[in-house]
Structure 1
Amino acid sequence: MIFDCLVATCTSAVAVVVLRRFAVLLGLVDRPDQRKLHVGNVPLVGGLAIFMGLATGALFYGQIHRFEATLLETAAVLVLLGALDDRFDLSVRDRLLIQTIVILTVIARTGVYIHTLGRIFGYEVTFGWLGVPLTVVAVIGLVNAFNMMDGIDGLAGSLALVSIAAMLLFAIPTPLHGAIVLLALLASASLPYLAANLGFMGGKVFLGDAGSMLIGYLLAWMLIQMSQVPQTHLSPVDVLWCVALPVFDTLAVMYRRIRQGRSPFKPDRGHIHHILLGAGLGPRATLAALIALAAAFALAGAFISSMAHSAGSNLTTFCLVMGVYVLTVTQIWLRQEARQLRRAPDSQSAIDVSVISSGARGHSGSPDFVGPSGQSAQRQDYRVMSAGDDAEVIRSMRRSARR
């Protein structure tokens, strides 16, 4: 297995180098805009490189069972979907439709889905056929959770490694050797991407939707399979702690957007990494803080699972922690927005006065035409509106100052 992991790492590294050169030709380039504040155009090939490394490692391993083989085949479809989304910006409806079809295909071919939560407060909670739509929602939810967390360098990939380590912490020893191998190959194939994304291996590359879909999809199915097999030590409630931070942040963001009357799927800059950046932390400090927080959630879950007398107590604790997280993060974000709104009018007033003053001096040659706040505003209005050309010039200057 160590050799296969090395194969996955080397293949992924070669794929990063090669795909980076063809990113522009393929149209897989991320360009900065109002929401994306990176510098320059960055190739979106990290996810493709990870999948190539994972698939090659699995091919060399050669002992992949039906469930893992089905996951790899359907994951290839999602990677292609993610690449098309990176290239053409597909609609949310199209992405959800294809994701649902892929998930139902896995259920139909393997029979694996969420059929029980175990014993909660002394009662065996089973879902029957309702487990199928619940599984669809759970997998899509985690896929999009990792997609939403892919906001700063190294975050989504690092959180994937934390989740894999947490799953091994909860599940070992386990009879599901194929699942462990697949997780190890995924972690190994992610290392070259992280090195490139963090600037340690040539030019920067991004994960892209192809990569975030791949990571969320595989982790979701591994958690479902390992939690539904009685022989493992990973209970259905334990899986929640393995991916606590992406789940918490996704629910917090959706809660805030719905509260504001907006679509929960419309992107913005209100995730936990944006909040920490807004609080003054740098990108690397934010990354370190979130990795530590994700690891703390997983370790806390392991401790609570060992100390709790029942899965019900474990689930109750998880829900309480989630509620505290959602409310705390929402309040911090609202305070940051309120501070920005309070600063905006003062900044805009200063810009307007400066622009009008510059325009007035340029027109009249009098440096003191626009005086302090006690001076008559009528003279300011007269000078700005005295000619249509002057007004248009000043409006243009205002727009430039705002930009």
Structure 2
Amino acid sequence: MAAWLMLLAGVSAAGTWLALVYARRHKLIDQPGERRSHSVPTPRGGGIGIAFALLVGCAMAAATGMAGLVSLLGFATGLLLVAGIGWVDDHRPLGPVLRLLVQCLAGLVLAWGLHGAEGRWGWVVLTALSVPVLVNVWNFMDGINGLASSQAVLAAAAVGWLVPPVAYPALALAAATAAFVPFNFPKARIFLGDVGSGTLGYALAALLALAARDASAQKIPDALVLVLPLSAFLIDASLTLGARMLAGEVWWQPHTSHLYQCWVKAGRSHTFVTLVYAAFSVVAVILASYLSGVAPWFAGGGVALWLSIALLAWVRLRRRLVPGKGTERQA
């Protein structure tokens, strides 16, 4: 397995480097602005290397019989849809409705490939819904150096640790994403782009769908605690989105009102904020490991307590960073 993971990391790194060359040649550059958190023009689209690596992983799994062909085809087709619409959007901005429709289609394809043939309709619905949710969460939270990629590495590794039956796909995602990190952290030579953030959100949705199903089949409450490794992003994305909607803002447009962006605007470095979010997620993973396998009521209480603490911390920090504002108004 180690050799295969190294191969996937190598494919990802090579793909990211080629994307960097391509972006510079075709002027695929993110310019600084008041709705962005970077101050230097930076190429985008580097996440296509991660998408290529995951497709190579699918081919390897099919060749060795490590996974069913229908499941692999469903995953690969959905990945091509999400990464493809993201790659197009990186070149020419598309409307939010079209992007969402493609993401929903990818969710349906993935859900059918993983669960449809077995008639697990409850899992079909949950998987289909999770794809557009996590794709957009990762897109919203991809705003500073290393944040989206490091959180994806931690989440994937944690899921593989908590639910051993999905260790290979979890570690494959972690390895492919980790190979991108040096290109983006601590100094960003290239950004993930929509192709990259979409790929990470989609792959995590697929991984969680597999892990939750396997955990439930073992009659343990691991399916419940799997939300903890993603809690940093879920809390920041959902609360910021809710605040912007309540304020009557155009919530789908680019902005800098997430907690991590407010922290950067207040003077903290990208490196500091990314490492704080990583530390938060590491603690969440440790808690998830402790709650894994305990009584469902106890696990549920632990998850609820952790999310409540995270919510209160978000509110307190936001009030300190943006005094007197529920959310930042956008021009």
Alignment TM class, shorter chain as reference: 0.7 to 0.9
Greater gyration radius: 1
Give, in angstroms, the shift of residue 294 of structure 1.
0.8
Distance of aligned partners of 1:53 and 1:109 in 2 relative to their CA distance in 1, 3 Å threshold: closer
2:44 corresponds in structure 1 to 44
User: Aligned-pair distance for 1:162?
Assistant: 0.8
Q: Select which of 152, 155, 162 maps to 1:160.
A: 152
Equivalent residue in structure 2 for 1:102, among 95, 102, 106: 106
Give yes or no for contact 1:27–1:87 (8 Å, CA) kept in 2. Answer: no
* Equivalent residue runs for 1:144-183 within 5 Å: 144-172=136-164, 174=165, 179-183=166-170
Change (3 A) 1:249 1:302: same
CA contact (8 A) 2:157 2:171 kept: no
How many angstroms apart in 1 are the aligned matches of 2:223 and 2:89?
32
Bigger shift: residues 19-28 or 97-106: 19-28
Cα RMSD, aligned residues only: 2.7
Shift of 1:25: 4.6
Q: Is residue 2:199 matched to residue 1:214?
A: yes
Note if 1:284 corresponds to 2:271. yes
Extract unaligned runs of 5+ from structure 2: 326-331
SS of match in other structure, 1:268: coil
SS of residue matched to 1:34: coil
- Normalised to the residue count of structure 2, the TM-score between the two structures is 0.85
Alpha-carbon distance in structure 2 between the residues aligned to 1:75 and 1:258: 29
User: Equivalent residue for 1:332?
Assistant: 317
Letter in 2 for 1:196: F
Q: In structure 1, what is the Cα distance between the partners aligned to 2:174 and 2:126?
A: 27
Which 10-residue stretch deviates more, 295-304 or 128-137? 128-137
By relative contact order (CA 8 Å, sep 6+), the higher-ranking structure is: 2
CA 1:299–1:333 in structure 2 vs 1: closer, same or farther (change >3 Å)?
same
Q: Match of 1:338, SS?
A: coil
Tell me if 1:309 matches 2:315: no
Counterpart for residue 2 of structure 1: 2
Contact 2:45/2:90 (<8 A) preserved: no
| Distance of 2:20 and 2:182 partners within structure 1 | 14
Match of 1:268 in 2: 255
Q: Does 1:111 align with 2:115?
A: yes
1:58–1:185: 8 Å Cα contact kept in structure 2? Answer: no
Whole-angstrom distance in 1 between the partners of 2:84 and 2:195 = 7
Q: Which amino acid aligns with 1:286?
A: V
Q: Deviations over 1:309-335 (max 9, x none)?
A: 32x342343234324433442343244
1:224 equivalenced with 2:224 (yes/no): no
Distance apart, 1:207 and its partner CA = 0.6
Q: 2:208, 2:221 → 1: CA distance?
A: 8
Work out whether residues 4 and 58 of structure 1, in 8 Å CA contact, stay in contact via their aligned partners in 2: no
Tell me which residue corresponds to 2:233.
246
Name the aligned partner's letter for residue 309 of structure 1.
A
CA distance in 2, matches of 1:129, 1:232: 19
CA distance in 2, matches of 1:336, 1:199: 23
Contact 1:171 1:233 (C-alpha < 8 Å) held by counterparts: no
Counterpart of 2:80, as a letter, is A
Structure 1 spans left out of the alignment, 5+ residues: 116-127, 341-403
Give the fraction of aligned pairs with identical amino acids, expressed as a percent.
23
| Inter-CA distance 169–149: structure 2 relative to 1 (3 Å threshold) | same
Looking at structure 1, the residues matched to 292 and 59 of structure 2 have their Cα atoms a distance apart, in angstroms, of: 36
Tell me if the contact between 1:227 and 1:234 (Cα under 8 Å) persists in the aligned partners.
no
Q: Partner of 1:192 in structure 2?
A: 179
Moved more, 233-242 or 215-224: 233-242
The TM-score, its normalising length taken from structure 1, stands at 0.71
Query: Is the 1:238–1:301 Cα contact (8 Å) retained in structure 2?
Result: yes
Sort the Cα spacing of 1:321 and 1:40 in 2 relative to 1 into closer, same or farther, 3 A. Answer: same
Instruction: Name the structure 2 match of 1:19.
Output: 19
**Cα separation, partners in 2 of 1:188 and 1:34, compared to 1, 3 Å:** same
C-alpha contact (below 8 Å) 1:139/1:217 kept by paired residues = yes
State the number of aligned residues.
Answer: 319
1:233-288 superposed Cα distances (whole Å, 9 cap, x missing partner):
66320221131211111121122112323344333222231233245432211111
Deviates more, 1:139-148 or 1:254-263: 254-263
Counterpart for residue 281 of structure 2: 294
Report what 2:329 is aligned to: none
Partner of 2:222: 235
Q: Look up the match of 1:124.
A: none
Q: Structure 1 pair 183/85, CA: closer, same or farther in 2 (3 Å)? A: same
Contact 1:86 1:208 in 2 (8 A): yes
Change in 2 beyond 3 A, CA 1:29/1:190: same
Partners of 1:78 and 1:214 within 8 A in 2 = yes
Range with bigger deviation, 264-273 or 40-49: 264-273
* TM superposition shift of 1:225: 1.5
Query: Are the equivalent residues in 2 in contact too, given 1:143–1:212 (CA < 8 A)?
Result: yes
Q: How big is the shift at 1:305?
A: 3.5
